[in-house]
Every structure is written in structure tokens, then in C-alpha cells.
């Protein structure tokens, strides 16, 4: 890679539990990625604005509140509206498989549930970045 992958880790909504998001942020940093952690209680608008200002490649949302069917699509739409449809939206939390499939159909990347190894997330982001940032021949 010619430059580090830039990842914004965000905790949207009213959910006050951020231990998992902090563990993920640390694992991504340890893997050589540049990580911006926005902290708790972020609105989709705040997340999209930060993603654009920080020029990130990936937005990772941690959602345990059950609002994933609203929050993931809203952040994605805000980024698309801003011309940043190239940003990968991924994340995790308590998300039923059928909701993961529905979100994927709407353009959200792979989502991860409790107990996922951080190396799985690191590998997914690296593979996505390599596949989408190949130099033009």
C-alpha cells in the first residue's frame, strides 16, 4: 500500500456502550491504519461530515441500540449525496442476519457481530481497499 488506510470509527445514536468500538479502533491502529474515533452519541450528519473532512476510506459504525436499519442507510446516503459513494460503510453490533443482508443490498459493506475476531475486520478492510484502489493500467 502506498498510504495508510484511513478509517473513521463512530458510535451513532444514544447507545452509551463504546468498549467494542474502542477495541476495534485500537486493532485497526495496530494494523497500521489511520483511525479517527468520534466518540459517543454521534448523529449521522456528524459522522458523514467528519468522514468528509477527514477524507477517510472507511466508516465503521458500532450500533448496539437496534437502530441499524436507520443509521447505516442514513450515513451512506449522506456520503453519497456529498459525492463520496467511494467510502466503505462497515461496522457491527447486534444485527440479525436478515438485516445484514438487507443492508448489504442497499450498499452497506460486510457487518460483524459479537465475538468476531478483530483480524477478520482488518483483513476485510485491507482486501476491500486493495480491490478498490488498484492503479489504472
Confidence of residue 2 (pLDDT cuts 50, 70, 90): confident
Q: How many CB atoms lie within 10 A of CB 16?
A: 10
Grid cell 452497506 is found at 108
Assess if residue 136 is contained within a domain: no
- 137 pLDDT band (50/70/90 cuts)? low
Give the domain extent around 11.
6-131
Question: Would you tell me how many other CB atoms lie within 10 Å of the CB of residue 80?
Answer: 15
The alpha carbon torsion through 35, 38, 110, 121 (nearest 10 deg) reads: 40
Residue 1 counted as domain residue: no
Cβ of 122: how many Cβ atoms within 10 Å? 18
Split into its structural domains, the chain has a count of 1
- Tell me whether residue 90 is in a domain: yes
pLDDT tens per residue across span 33-83: 999 999 999 999 999 999 999 999 999 999 999 999 999 999 999 999 999
pLDDT at res. 70? 96
| Contact in structure between 76 and 107 (CB atoms under 8 Å) | yes
Q: Which cell numbers in the block locate residue 82? A: 456529498
Looking up residue 36, the CATH number of its domain turns out to be 3.40.50.280
Contact 94, 112 (CB under 8 A): no
pTM > 0.85: yes or no: yes
Q: How confident is the model at residue 136 (pLDDT cuts 50, 70, 90)?
A: low
Residue 137 lies in a domain: no
Amino acid at each position: 500500500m502506498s498510504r495508510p488506510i484511513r478509517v473513521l470509527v463512530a458510535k451513532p445514536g444514544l447507545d452509551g456502550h463504546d468498549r467494542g468500538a474502542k477495541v476495534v479502533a485500537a486493532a485497526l491502529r495496530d494494523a497500521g491504519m489511520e483511525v479517527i474515533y468520534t466518540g459517543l452519541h454521534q448523529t449521522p450528519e456528524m459522522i458523514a461530515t467528519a468522514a468528509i473532512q477527514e477524507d477517510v476510506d472507511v466508516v465503521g459504525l458500532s450500533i448496539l441500540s437496534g437502530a441499524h436499519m436507520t443509521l447505516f442507510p442514513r450515513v451512506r446516503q449522506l456520503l453519497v449525496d456529498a459525492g463520496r459513494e467511494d467510502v466503505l460503510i462497515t461496522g457491527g453490533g447486534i444485527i440479525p442476519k436478515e438485516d445484514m443482508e438487507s443492508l448489504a443490498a442497499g450498499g452497506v459493506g460486510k457487518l460483524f457481530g459479537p465475538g468476531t475476531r478483530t483480524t477478520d475486520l482488518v483483513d476485510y478492510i485491507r482486501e476491500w481497499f486493495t480491490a478498490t484502489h488498484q492503479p489504472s493500467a
